[in-house]
Structure 1
Amino acid sequence: MALAAATTVAILGYSAVAVILLDRETPPPPPRPAPPVFALPVGSAPASPPVSILPSPALSAGSPQAGRSIRAISAGIPPRASRSAAHASREPATPSTSPTPVLVVGHTIGLAFPAWPGYLVRHRDHLARVEPVTTASSPADRRAARFVVETGRADPRCLSFASAEHPGFYLRHRDFVLRLEPAEPTMLFQHDATFCSAQAGTGFVLRSANYPSHHLIQDGGLLRLISSAPGQATVFHAVPPI
């Protein structure tokens, strides 16, 4: 027993010594490096996200068309029809019952064009537009193309055109574009809403009462007041209302 106990003590002693020696001989593991930190230089701002730069918008349909001559405007080029009038443009034109265009004060008429059968002057968005209007068009489109001939508001030798749909509204030029606007108690409005007619072939042309050298000319589906000779102006003719 004594011998066994002495042997056990000796083994434990050697184990303790070996552990101490191993601890002294095995170097500690190197410290793990800290993760890198990415920082902007002092005073720098974060990068902004990419920006999409769109092209400039195109000119609107009512914008003046630069570089167009009177000859190109009045040479019989048909006006551009709006999408809403595309269906009507496929229908036959409504014929006039009057062989000779006549403007009679007090009569309700449609302002048509010998060069563009099926097209009439109609108001839309307060502008006078040249668009297809036929018996197949909607009632609203047909009402927008009816005008009452009146004695000229600024000159009794000339004419004014009142809206049959909206009493008190007249065709008048402003910024040299024909529009439908309510009457104003001003001399400027009276003159702007007065047009003098002159016979031209099977129809007539319309000149401004306050700009005697300016006539109404169709340009891109609108009617503009442009300095021109009568032979360069757009020719109208009166038809019964549709």
Structure 2
Amino acid sequence: MSEEDGRPAHQQAGEWVPPPQYFAPAPRVSARVPMAVVTDPVAHRAYSPGRLRTVLVGGAVVSVLAAVGMAVTSGEEERPGPLFVALPSVPAVTVPPSGTPATEGPTGRSVPLPTSKVRETLPGPGGTAGTGTAGPGRPAPSASATPVVVLPVIGAVIGLEPVGEPGRRLRHRNFVARIDQLGADSPEGDRADSRFTVRAGRGDATCLSFEAANYPGYFLRARGFELRLERPSGWGGDQGFDAEATFCAVPAATGGFVLRSRSDQRRYVTERNSVLSLNEVVAAKAKAFVTRPPL
């Protein structure tokens, strides 16, 4: 452009010149930005890798806990509720007061109150026999209860009756021990042969010896395993006689007691053809006796 007319240097004279164009300047827009947003460095700070990992782990833990809670809730909803069974009602029973002797039955007559039968028992640890009765704190006795066992008492005059064989008695006849049928109407001599005085064991004071009541000084003894009525020699004591004339009373399971030899504790008194002897058997196979008043 020449300085004279303001045209460009390359423009020739007489050429077409476009008219000058004027463009309005763009307006300047200014906005007020709150200082808290611009100056807050936390809003524009990028998360560090450690903090991003913590955020991801926390989100995973929350997701797992939510899933477990949903599973537990669904399991509780499926659990069946308790089952209740209705029990039959028990009719009320009126218990009469203690000491009431009788009650009235359907016909108006006096009916005695039911009572429990007394059950006999084996002797306790102290050696004395006892009885058991049914009561509020005890069960009713059974029909198969073992009967009482009364052992011979030292110094008493007794009769010996086989268990389950009433009317038969142990006796001596011709100095041989046997079992015969005897009763109150039997001859006096036979009845006297069935009476024995119980003595402390000659060979063992914890056992027994049986002295004939009608032959004082004569005892039942096992000679050659046969029970006989004999007396000791009296010459400075007779240890063999004392041992063979001593018997230990052992309570039997069927009631009563059996007699075991003190000299040979494997042998018990048994019966064969009404005659008594010592044999090597178990206690259940031995002859059991009960004490009876003398005839």
Aligned to 1:220, which of 273, 278, 286?
A: 273
2:283 is matched by which residue type in structure 1?
P
The structure number with the bigger radius of gyration is 2
Aligned partner of 2:292 in structure 1 is: 239
CA deviations 1:63-109 (Å, max 9, x no partner) are xxxxxxxxxxxxxxxxxxxxxxxxxxxxxxxxxxxx75331000000
Where do residues 144-159 of structure 1 align in structure 2 (5 Å cutoff)?
144-159=193-208
- Are 2:226 and 2:278, in contact at CA under 8 Å, matched by a contact in 1? yes
Residues of 2 paired with 1:205 and 1:182: CA distance?
23
> What residue in structure 2 maps to residue 199 of structure 1?
251
| 1:211 alignment partner AA | D
**Matches for 1:17-166 after TM superposition, within 5 Å:** 100-166=149-215
SS of alignment partner, residue 243 of structure 2: helix
- The CA deviation string for residues 127-154 of structure 1, in whole angstroms up to 9 with x for no partner, is 0111011001001011000000000000
Distance in 2 separating the partners of 1:183 and 1:149: 17
1:183 CA displacement = 2.3
CA distance in 1, matches of 2:161, 2:230: 20
Spell out structure 1 runs of 4+ moving beyond 2 A. 99-102
- Which range is displaced more, 163-172 or 177-186? 177-186
Residue 189, structure 1, aligned to residue 241, structure 2? yes
- 8 A contact 1:101–1:239 mirrored in 2: no
- Superposed displacement of residue 182, structure 1: 1.4
Match of 1:86 in 2: none
State TM-score, norm by structure 1.
Answer: 0.58
Partner amino acid for 1:197?
A
Tell me which amino acid in the other structure corresponds to 1:118.
G
- Amino acid paired to 1:241: P
Secondary structure of the 2:288 match is: coil
User: Is residue 215–residue 225 contact of structure 1 (8 Å, CA) maintained in 2?
Assistant: yes
Unpaired stretches in structure 2, ≥5 consecutive residues: 1-147
Identity of aligned residues (%): 38
CA contact (8 A) 1:158 1:195 kept: yes
TM-score (norm: length of structure 2): 0.48
Q: Which runs of 5+ in 1 are unaligned?
A: 1-98
Residue 211 (structure 1) aligned with residue 264 (structure 2): yes
> How far apart, CA to CA, are the structure 2 residues paired with 1:220 and 1:175?
17
* Aligned counterpart, 2:125: none
What is the aligned partner in structure 2 of residue 72 from structure 1? Answer: none
Q: Is the CA contact 1:101–1:202 (under 8 Å) kept in the aligned structure 2?
A: no
Q: Does the CA-based 8 Å contact 1:109-1:238 persist in structure 2? A: yes
Q: Distance in 1 between matches of 2:149 and 2:243?
A: 28
Distance 2:203 2:245 in 1: 8
Q: Does 1:167 align with 2:216?
A: yes
Number of aligned positions between the proteins: 144
Q: Kindly provide the amino acid, as one letter, of the partner of residue 122 in structure 1.
A: R
Kindly indicate whether the alpha-carbon contact (under 8 Å) linking 1:204 and 1:237 is maintained by their aligned counterparts in 2: yes
1:151-173 deviations in Å (ceiling 9; x for gaps): 00000110000000010000001
